[in-house]
Amino acid sequence: MEGRREGWKKVCARGAGEAAVAGRSSSPLERMTPRQVVQAWVDAFNRADADALASFYTTDAVNHQVAEMPVQGRDNIRQMFASGFAAAQMHCIVENLFEDGQWAILEWRDPSGLRGCGFFHVVHGQITFQRGYWDKLSFLRLHGLPLPDRL
């Protein structure tokens, strides 16, 4: 298991998008299951590596954290992660990681006890759509970030 995890880290560090051609990848990520892609995604998230995270998404992917507006496009997703990591120290602890066809389902928590879940649609080793559910108000309070004027 440890060798496989190290392999995922190396693939993640190189990035999923570097070999994307005409919507298909010839990288090792293409051969990864949705569950394996999301595990590698978690590894990149825990390194606060916005570039590696963005590389897991297709160029026109959508990331919709339901507490926020949907973000479309790899570059915008990269910026979303970069801004998030600049504002707060985040860490994802996997509680459960399931796979069903082209979907991976992640149940997570952070060291402070915040919990959430994410649904990832993975096609040819890249995320085309992600939806995440988490408590934004608790997140803001935990990280000492400004609360919105309207709740």
Q: What is the CATH number of the domain that holds 121?
A: 3.10.450.50
Q: 150 versus 146: which is more confidently predicted?
A: 146
Check: CB of residue 77 under 8 Å from CB of residue 16: no
The larger pLDDT score, comparing residue 8 to residue 142, is at 142
Q: Is 124 left (phi over 0), alpha (psi -120 to 50) or beta?
A: left
Mean pLDDT of 62-82: 96
Please, which pLDDT band fits residue 30 given cuts at 50, 70 and 90?
A: confident
86-98 as b/e: b if 16+ CB within 10 A: eeeebebeeeebe
Greatest Cα-to-Cα distance within the chain, rounded to the nearest angstrom: 48
In a domain, 150, yes or no: no
Q: Is residue 97 included in any domain, yes or no?
A: yes
Please provide the average confidence, as pLDDT, over all residues in the chain.
83
Please report whether residue 42 resides in a domain. yes
Look at residue 148 and tell me if it is in a domain: no
Domain hosting 66: range is 2-140
Residue 147 domain-assigned (yes or no): no
Q: Is the pLDDT of residue 59 over 60?
A: yes
Higher pLDDT, 12 or 53: 53
Listed in sequence order, the residues at least 6 apart from 24 whose beta carbon sits closer than 8 Å to its beta carbon are 30, 124
How many structural domains is the chain composed of?
A: 1
Q: Residue 139 pLDDT > 50, yes or no? A: yes
Q: What is the pTM assigned to this prediction?
A: 0.77
Cα dist from 142 to 11, 107, 111, 127, whole Å: 32, 19, 11, 29
